[in-house]
Amino acid sequence: MASLIWFLLIFSVVVISHEFGHYIIARASGIHVLEFYVGFGPTLFHFEKGGTKYSWKLLPLGGACVFEGQDGLALEAGEEPGEGSFLKASPWSRLATVLAGPLFNVILGFLLAFLMICQIAVRDPVATEVLPGSAAEEAGLQAGDRILAMNGNRVCLYEDITLYNLTSDGGEILLAYERDGVRQVTTITPKYDPQYGRYMLGISNADFVELKGTDYFKYAWYEVRYNFKATYASLRMLFHGKVERQDVAGPVGIAVNVVGKTYEEASAYGMSTVVVNMLNIALMLTINLGILNLLPIPALDGGRLVFILLEILRGKPVPPEKEGMVHFIGMMFFMVLVVIVFFNDLRNIFGW
């Protein structure tokens, strides 16, 4: 029961943050918000205020901020959109309204990361040990070296190195590091470790950073940045067919396999450990939601942005009924996808 409560709390905060971003910019732009709801399916309860219906629905599968005339499907032939219609607003107001959802996910992510950083020990990307016979030893790395960049990508946390190990297909890495205040560069070829099933550099880290002052803000941003990189790496692996069915999870899978199992393991160490782990899960989910919504897919924020940018470039909008139909088809696709992911979650949970 406790893990379910945590899941619902995390889900609610992440979704409400996203939809509130749309909502607050829409209101500031004079766009009439018809309904602000969390979840899908039958409405459990609702209330109305200022011409907007606020609802909480049964299934924890997302949420939406519905604008007047949003997709133009309800307009009769030749009918003009109303004054508070989404279609009546300038393209720049619509652009800001659509972008605000993912942006608020990033803002929430930073706040969550800051709260988490205030409670955990942080590891800098410093090699406290170089394993004998490892790729790192062969490349000339020594204990005390600080990893600065890998293939031109800046390394801020030790977890950045771990992420590379998890997602790498091998191959040479141009590695920049600092030794005794001097920047150096070497080439390293990670070795495949059959025990862990991935390529490894061969360094470990047991040193933790003592944060003070503005360090908390800096390392909070590093955590957000890490989650951006992890989401991008996951998407890349998914599109390249390198993600197994068992690695894909929807709301049910997240509730049971991610939140549930994490709560079980963390609860043995006390409530503070539980809170830190739940903050980390919420951080991961809010960054994931923000990025995934920016993909140029119909019905997602990214799909709407494509039409708005086309309007700006062309100097005239795509006919509302045509855009609306594209988003409607996209929504039907996602409904089918939700069902598929739901049954995949059940297969993962029950081992079907």
Q: What is the pLDDT of residues 178-222, one digit of tens each?
A: 999 999 999 999 988 888 788 889 898 877 888 888 999 999 999
Same domain, yes or no, for 279 and 352? yes
Q: How many domains does the chain have?
A: 2
Same domain, yes or no, for 268 and 227? yes
**Pairwise CA distance, residues 15 & 286, whole Å:** 8
Give residue for tokens 């590093």.
222
CB within 8 Å of 296: residues ≥ 6 apart: 302, 303, 305, 306
Does residue 214 sit in helix, strand or coil?
A: coil
Domain boundary among 169, 185, 207: 207
Domain range enclosing 154: 123-207
Q: What is the DSSP letter of 130?
A: E
Same domain, yes or no, for 87 and 113? yes
Q: What is the DSSP letter of 156?
A: -
The predicted pLDDT at position 106 comes to 96
Same domain, yes or no, for 91 and 216? yes
**Pairwise CA distance, residues 45 & 5, whole Å:** 18
Same domain, yes or no, for 128 and 160? yes
Domain boundary among 207, 239, 265: 207
Domain boundary among 207, 224, 242: 207
Give phi and psi for 26, each to the nearest 5.
-60, -45
The predicted pLDDT at position 259 comes to 81
Q: What is the pLDDT of residues 212-228, one digit of tens each?
A: 889 999 999 999 999 99
Same domain, yes or no, for 149 and 99? no
The predicted pLDDT at position 242 comes to 63
The predicted pLDDT at position 256 comes to 63
The predicted pLDDT at position 78 comes to 52
CATH number at residue 165: 2.30.42.10
**Pairwise CA distance, residues 176 & 233, whole Å:** 21
Same domain, yes or no, for 234 and 291? yes
- Name the pTM for this structure: 0.87
CB 162 within 8 A of CB 229: no
CB 258 within 8 A of CB 191: no
Q: What is the CA radius of gyration of the chain?
A: 23
**Pairwise CA distance, residues 178 & 138, whole Å:** 17
Q: What is the pLDDT along the chain (352 residues), one digit of tens a residue?
A: 777 888 888 989 999 999 999 999 999 999 999 999 998 889 999 999 989 999 999 877 788 899 988 766 555 545 566 678 888 899 999 999 999 999 999 999 999 999 999 988 888 899 999 999 999 999 999 999 999 999 989 999 999 988 888 887 778 899 999 999 999 999 999 988 888 788 889 898 877 888 888 999 999 999 999 999 988 888 887 776 665 655 555 565 666 667 888 878 888 888 889 999 999 999 999 999 999 899 998 888 999 999 999 999 998 888 887 888 888 888 888 778 777 776 766 666 666 5
Same domain, yes or no, for 33 and 132? no
Same domain, yes or no, for 332 and 252? yes
192-200: long-range contacts at Cβ-Cβ below 8 A with a sequence spacing of 24 or more? 198/165, 198/166, 198/168, 199/165, 199/168, 199/169, 199/170, 200/134, 200/135, 200/165
